[in-house]
């Protein structure tokens, strides 16, 4: 323990960076627990689709969607997501899974749905890249 303190004193900047990174990781994980939606893996998404008829909403641009999307998914741009709109209003109590390129856009949209009272909102962790990385099929063209 004495050597650890000696190291920290001799390498103050490095020690502060380590403490800062540790706090950032802890903060991120705590926020993840309280965000109101969960992340799902490609396997978990497949299970949600098959067992609970989850609504999958792809938030990528139309061109990317048409190049390849999860079979049965619906396309909406993030700006088009309306919790009271025709597509989403009937899914307030059902599982809704949001998909984007890497997960960032979907997380922001998931927050919007949670605030609107949706109960079962999820985001595909890693986005469509995780789906293709798991060797799962994509449909091409319009939904």
Token look-up 């098959």 returns 50
Residue 136 predicted with pLDDT over 90: yes
CATH architecture of 37-133: 3-Layer(aba) Sandwich (3.40)
| pLDDT class of 31 with cuts at 50, 70, 90 | low
Residue 23 predicted with pLDDT over 90: no
**pLDDT attached to residue 138:** 95
Write the CB contacts of 61 (distance below 8 Å, at least 6 apart in sequence): 77
Hey, where are the domains in the chain?
A: 2-32, 37-133
pLDDT in tens, 33-51: 667 899 999 999 999 999 9
**pLDDT attached to residue 95:** 96
Q: Are 100 and 75 in contact (CB under 8 A)?
A: no
Residue 109 predicted with pLDDT over 90: yes
């Amino acid at each position: 323990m004495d050597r650890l303190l000696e190291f920290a004193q001799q390498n103050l900047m490095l020690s502060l960076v380590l403490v800062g990174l540790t706090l950032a990781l802890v903060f991120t994980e705590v926020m993840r627990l309280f965000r109101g939606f969960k992340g799902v893996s490609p396997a978990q998404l497949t299970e949600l689709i098959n067992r609970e008829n989850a609504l999958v909403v792809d938030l990528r641009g139309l061109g990317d969607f048409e190049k390849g999307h999860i079979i049965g998914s619906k396309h909406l741009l993030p700006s088009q997501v309306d919790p009271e709109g025709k597509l989403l209003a009937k899914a307030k109590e059902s599982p809704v899974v949001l998909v984007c390129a890497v997960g960032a856009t979907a997380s922001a949209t998931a927050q919007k749905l949670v605030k609107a009272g949706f109960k079962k909102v999820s985001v595909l962790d890693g986005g469509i890249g995780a789906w293709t990385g798991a060797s799962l099929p994509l449909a091409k063209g319009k939904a």
